[in-house]
Chains A and B, each alone.
Chain A
Amino acid sequence: MLLSLILIPLAAALICLLIDSRRVYEYATVLSCTAISGIALVIAGAALSGGIAGSPGGAIYADALSAFMVVVITLLSLATSVYSIEYMGGELEHGHIDAKAHRYYYLLYNLFILTMLLVPLADNLAVMWMAIEGTTLVSALLVGLYRKRSSVEAAWKYIILCTVGITFALLGTFIFYYASSGASGGGRGALEWTALLAMAPRLNPATVRLGFILIVVGYGTKAGLAPVHNWLPDAHSEAPTPISALLSGILLNCAFYGILRFAVIARASLGYPFVRDMMFLFGISSVVAASIFMLIQRNAKRLLAYSSIEHMGIIALSFGVGGPFGFYAALLHILNHAIGKPLMFFVTGRIKGRYDTVETEQAAGVIKAMPLVGAVGFIGIMALAGAPPFGMFVSEFLMLKALAAGGHWVIMGVFLAAGGMVFYGLLRSFGGMFLGAPTSPAPVGQSMPAHPPAPPRIPLPVGADVDRRPAVRGFRGLSSGIVMLLMAAALLMLGLYIPGPLDRLITLSAGIIGG
Chain B
Amino acid sequence: MPKAWVVVYSITDFITIGMLLTVVAMNSLKRMESFLRAYTINSLLLALLMAVSAFYLDAAHLYIAAAVTLVSKGVVIPFLLKKVVRQLKITHEVEPNINTPLSLVISSILVVVVYSSLSRGIFIEGFTENPLKVSISIILISLFIMITRKKAVTQVIGLLLMENGLFLAGFSLTYGMSTIIELGVVFDVLMGVIILGVFLSQIKKTFIDLDLDKLTTLKG
Partner of B218 from the list A153, A174, A189, A296 (CB cut-off 8 Å) is: A153
10 A-B pairs with CB atoms under 8 Å apart are A130-B188, A140-B199, A152-B199, A159-B196, A164-B162, A167-B139, A171-B166, A174-B170, A177-B177, A210-B121
Partner of A164 from the list B121, B122, B123, B159 (CB cut-off 8 Å) is: B159
A61–B195 CA distance with the chains assembled, in angstroms: 30
- Contact status of A234 and B218, CB under 8 A, knowing A127-B181, A152-B206, A156-B152: yes
Chain B residues whose CB sits within 8 angstroms of the CB of A159 once the complex forms: 192, 195-196, 199
Whether A137 and B139, one on each chain, are in contact in the complex, defined by CB atoms closer than 8 angstroms, is no
Chain A residues whose CB sits within 8 angstroms of the CB of B75 once the complex forms: none
Whether A191 and B177, one on each chain, are in contact in the complex, defined by CB atoms closer than 8 angstroms, is yes
What does the 1/0 interface line of B139-179 toward A look like (CB < 8 Å)? 10001001000001001000100110010011001100100
A140–B199 CA distance with the chains assembled, in angstroms: 10
Chain B residues whose CB sits within 8 angstroms of the CB of A468 once the complex forms: none
Chain A residues whose CB sits within 8 angstroms of the CB of B215 once the complex forms: 153, 156-157
A170–B163 CA distance with the chains assembled, in angstroms: 10
Whether B220 and A297, one on each chain, are in contact in the complex, defined by CB atoms closer than 8 angstroms, is yes
List 4 tightest A-B contacts by C-beta distance, closest first: A178-B173, A234-B218, A153-B215, A174-B170
- Contact status of A178 and B218, CB under 8 A, knowing A140-B195, A159-B199, A164-B146: no
A150–B217 CA distance with the chains assembled, in angstroms: 6
Whether B139 and A171, one on each chain, are in contact in the complex, defined by CB atoms closer than 8 angstroms, is yes
Interface residues of B in 192-220 (CB under 8 A from A): 192, 195-196, 198-199, 202-203, 205-207, 215, 217-218, 220
Question: Which A residues contact B (CB, under 8 angstroms)?
Answer: 124, 126-127, 130, 133-134, 137, 140-141, 144, 147-150, 152-157, 159-160, 163-164, 167, 170-171, 174-175, 177-178, 181, 189, 191, 204, 206-207, 210, 233-234, 237-238, 293, 296-297, 302
Whether B143 and A164, one on each chain, are in contact in the complex, defined by CB atoms closer than 8 angstroms, is yes
Whether B170 and A170, one on each chain, are in contact in the complex, defined by CB atoms closer than 8 angstroms, is yes
A293–B202 CA distance with the chains assembled, in angstroms: 30
Measured CB to CB, the closest approach of chain B to A313, in angstroms, equals 19
Measured CB to CB, the closest approach of chain A to B36, in angstroms, equals 19
Whether A133 and B173, one on each chain, are in contact in the complex, defined by CB atoms closer than 8 angstroms, is no
Whether A130 and B121, one on each chain, are in contact in the complex, defined by CB atoms closer than 8 angstroms, is no
Whether A174 and B220, one on each chain, are in contact in the complex, defined by CB atoms closer than 8 angstroms, is no
Partner of A127 from the list B166, B170, B184, B206 (CB cut-off 8 Å) is: B184
A160–B199 CA distance with the chains assembled, in angstroms: 11
Whether B199 and A149, one on each chain, are in contact in the complex, defined by CB atoms closer than 8 angstroms, is no
Whether B195 and A175, one on each chain, are in contact in the complex, defined by CB atoms closer than 8 angstroms, is no
Interface residues of B in 97-139 (CB under 8 A from A): 121-124, 139
Whether B218 and A177, one on each chain, are in contact in the complex, defined by CB atoms closer than 8 angstroms, is no
Chain B residues whose CB sits within 8 angstroms of the CB of A126 once the complex forms: 177, 181, 184-185
The answer to the question of B57 belonging to the interface, with a C-beta cut-off of 8 Å to chain A, is: no
Whether B143 and A206, one on each chain, are in contact in the complex, defined by CB atoms closer than 8 angstroms, is no
Chain B residues whose CB sits within 8 angstroms of the CB of A178 once the complex forms: 122, 124, 173-174
A177–B169 CA distance with the chains assembled, in angstroms: 12
Chain A residues whose CB sits within 8 angstroms of the CB of B170 once the complex forms: 170-171, 174
Knowing that A159-B199, A167-B162 are A-B contacts, what are 16 other residue pairs whose CB atoms are under 8 Å apart, sorted by A's residue number? Answer: A147-B206, A152-B207, A153-B217, A154-B218, A155-B199, A156-B199, A160-B146, A167-B159, A167-B163, A170-B185, A174-B169, A178-B122, A191-B177, A206-B122, A207-B122, A297-B220
Measured CB to CB, the closest approach of chain B to A297, in angstroms, equals 7
The answer to the question of B29 belonging to the interface, with a C-beta cut-off of 8 Å to chain A, is: no
Q: From B182, which residue of chain A is reached at the shortest CB distance?
A: A126
Chain B residues whose CB sits within 8 angstroms of the CB of A147 once the complex forms: 202, 205-206
The answer to the question of B191 belonging to the interface, with a C-beta cut-off of 8 Å to chain A, is: yes
A486–B202 CA distance with the chains assembled, in angstroms: 39
Whether A175 and B188, one on each chain, are in contact in the complex, defined by CB atoms closer than 8 angstroms, is no
Whether B218 and A150, one on each chain, are in contact in the complex, defined by CB atoms closer than 8 angstroms, is yes
Chain A residues whose CB sits within 8 angstroms of the CB of B217 once the complex forms: 149-150, 153
Chain B residues whose CB sits within 8 angstroms of the CB of A297 once the complex forms: 220
Whether A152 and B121, one on each chain, are in contact in the complex, defined by CB atoms closer than 8 angstroms, is no
Measured CB to CB, the closest approach of chain B to A497, in angstroms, equals 40
A137–B177 CA distance with the chains assembled, in angstroms: 23
Chain A residues whose CB sits within 8 angstroms of the CB of B192 once the complex forms: 133, 137, 159, 163
A302–B220 CA distance with the chains assembled, in angstroms: 9
Chain A residues whose CB sits within 8 angstroms of the CB of B159 once the complex forms: 160, 163-164, 167
Measured CB to CB, the closest approach of chain A to B65, in angstroms, equals 14
- Contact status of A204 and B174, CB under 8 A, knowing A156-B199, A159-B199, A296-B220: no
Whether A181 and B174, one on each chain, are in contact in the complex, defined by CB atoms closer than 8 angstroms, is yes
Chain B residues whose CB sits within 8 angstroms of the CB of A124 once the complex forms: 181
Whether A206 and B123, one on each chain, are in contact in the complex, defined by CB atoms closer than 8 angstroms, is yes
Chain A residues whose CB sits within 8 angstroms of the CB of B202 once the complex forms: 144, 147, 152
Partner of B188 from the list A133, A154, A157, A237 (CB cut-off 8 Å) is: A133
Q: From B185, which residue of chain A is reached at the shortest CB distance?
A: A130
A152–B200 CA distance with the chains assembled, in angstroms: 9
Chain B residues whose CB sits within 8 angstroms of the CB of A175 once the complex forms: 122, 173
Chain A residues whose CB sits within 8 angstroms of the CB of B199 once the complex forms: 140, 144, 152, 155-156, 159
Chain A residues whose CB sits within 8 angstroms of the CB of B195 once the complex forms: 137, 140-141, 159
A414–B95 CA distance with the chains assembled, in angstroms: 44
A150–B203 CA distance with the chains assembled, in angstroms: 10
Chain A residues whose CB sits within 8 angstroms of the CB of B152 once the complex forms: 156
Chain B residues whose CB sits within 8 angstroms of the CB of A233 once the complex forms: 218, 220
Whether A189 and B162, one on each chain, are in contact in the complex, defined by CB atoms closer than 8 angstroms, is no
Whether B166 and A167, one on each chain, are in contact in the complex, defined by CB atoms closer than 8 angstroms, is yes
Chain A residues whose CB sits within 8 angstroms of the CB of B220 once the complex forms: 233, 293, 296-297, 302
Partner of A204 from the list B123, B162, B169, B198 (CB cut-off 8 Å) is: B123
- Contact status of A156 and B203, CB under 8 A, knowing A167-B162, A177-B173: yes
A34–B148 CA distance with the chains assembled, in angstroms: 47
A160–B151 CA distance with the chains assembled, in angstroms: 13
Measured CB to CB, the closest approach of chain B to A448, in angstroms, equals 17
A189–B177 CA distance with the chains assembled, in angstroms: 9
Chain A residues whose CB sits within 8 angstroms of the CB of B203 once the complex forms: 152, 156
A140–B191 CA distance with the chains assembled, in angstroms: 12
Whether B218 and A238, one on each chain, are in contact in the complex, defined by CB atoms closer than 8 angstroms, is yes
Chain A residues whose CB sits within 8 angstroms of the CB of B123 once the complex forms: 204, 206-207
A164–B144 CA distance with the chains assembled, in angstroms: 12
Measured CB to CB, the closest approach of chain A to B11, in angstroms, equals 22
Chain B residues whose CB sits within 8 angstroms of the CB of A177 once the complex forms: 173-174, 177
Chain A residues whose CB sits within 8 angstroms of the CB of B121 once the complex forms: 206, 210
A178–B139 CA distance with the chains assembled, in angstroms: 18
Measured CB to CB, the closest approach of chain B to A290, in angstroms, equals 13
A127–B220 CA distance with the chains assembled, in angstroms: 35
Whether A137 and B122, one on each chain, are in contact in the complex, defined by CB atoms closer than 8 angstroms, is no
Chain A residues whose CB sits within 8 angstroms of the CB of B169 once the complex forms: 171, 174
Whether B122 and A210, one on each chain, are in contact in the complex, defined by CB atoms closer than 8 angstroms, is yes
